[in-house]
Amino acid sequence: MNTNRISDHVKITSNDLTTKVTAHIEELAQATDAARVSEEMLRYLDACSKFHKYSLFNLWLILMARPNATAVAGFRKWQSLNRYVNKGEHGIPILAPILVKQKDDTTTQEEIAGFKVVYVFDISQTEGEPLPPPPDWKSPEKNKELTERLIQYANNLGITVIEKELRREVQGVSKGGAIELSPDAGTITLVHELAHELLHHREDRPVSKDVKELEAESVAFVVARYFGLYVITSPNYIVLYGADSKRIIEHQERIRRVANEIIEGLE
């Protein structure tokens, strides 16, 4: 854990701060591209690509049939992942569209002509090679002084910070005027949720969840690096939301503005 005191930072000019923050954004952009092509990430993303994204109705059918389902795929999809459905297992019935081709003078398009029942299986109904684990995306490092200053800063903005047990792997939640943090969440998670508060409860917020997570984690990375926290997992987190260096640079003005706002507020 880094032992630097944030109070040791010397007040710098606005231009110097912007230069330093911009350098951290570029550092993050380069690290994110490196994470995208790492063997660990490629194996994980390849496995993820083989899982179908089910409709809300089919998700309801899956959970009704098997409430503890975690990873669901068809018989042949499991085979492509070198896993095989155990003998005697009963599939989970869902609805799949029946597609028919419609031709006109220039194009051929597929249209839904109806639905049919197909069967999928949860990973617990299969055996074989283990799925690749998700790359590490949590940042558990805690800096007591920085955390206390962040909480005070949030309170000054009318944002309450509450520590509580959260569901599954969730580390923090931004609720618009309140932040909930898991007891094992690191300082960077608090910055991440604070960035959501400052960026994503306003009229100019992006619609896409992927972009929201990119912006919040980028701000968290920049602020953490500025105050000397060792942050290695942010690039993995950003890649898991489909971003790359180009996307980070596209949003750097918003990232830089809020990172500057938080840093100046703490100093």
Whole-number pLDDT of residue 129? 92
Stretch 66-83: mean pLDDT: 91
191-205 pLDDT, tens digit per residue, is 999 999 999 988 888
110-122 pLDDT, tens digit per residue, is 788 888 999 999 9
Whole-number pLDDT of residue 3? 44
Amino acid at 88: G
- Point out the least confidently predicted range of 46-55, 185-194, 212-221: 46-55
Q: d(Cα 118, Cα 123) in Å, to the nearest integer?
A: 17
Residue 178 has pLDDT above 90, yes or no: yes
Share of residues in the chain with pLDDT > 90 (%) = 57
Whole-number pLDDT of residue 29? 94
pTM assigned to the model: 0.76
Is the CA virtual torsion 193, 198, 201, 204 positive or negative?
negative
**Which has more pLDDT, 11 or 121?**
121
25 φ/ψ sector (left φ>0, alpha ψ -120 to 50, else beta) = alpha
Residue 2 — very low, low, confident or very high, per pLDDT cuts 50/70/90? very low
Whole-number pLDDT of residue 8? 59
Whole-number pLDDT of residue 87? 94
DSSP letter (8 states) at residue 118: E
Find, among 169, 137, 142, the residue nearest to 235 by Cα: 137
Residue count of the chain: 267
Residue 4 — very low, low, confident or very high, per pLDDT cuts 50/70/90? very low
Alpha-helix runs per DSSP H in the chain: 14-36, 39-49, 56-65, 75-80, 144-156, 187-199, 209-226, 234-240, 245-250, 252-266
Three-state secondary structure call for residue 229: coil
Q: d(Cα 66, Cα 77) in Å, to the nearest integer?
A: 19
Find, among 198, 212, 192, the residue nearest to 261 by Cα: 198
Dihedral of the CA atoms 155, 160, 162, 166 (nearest 10)?
A: -130
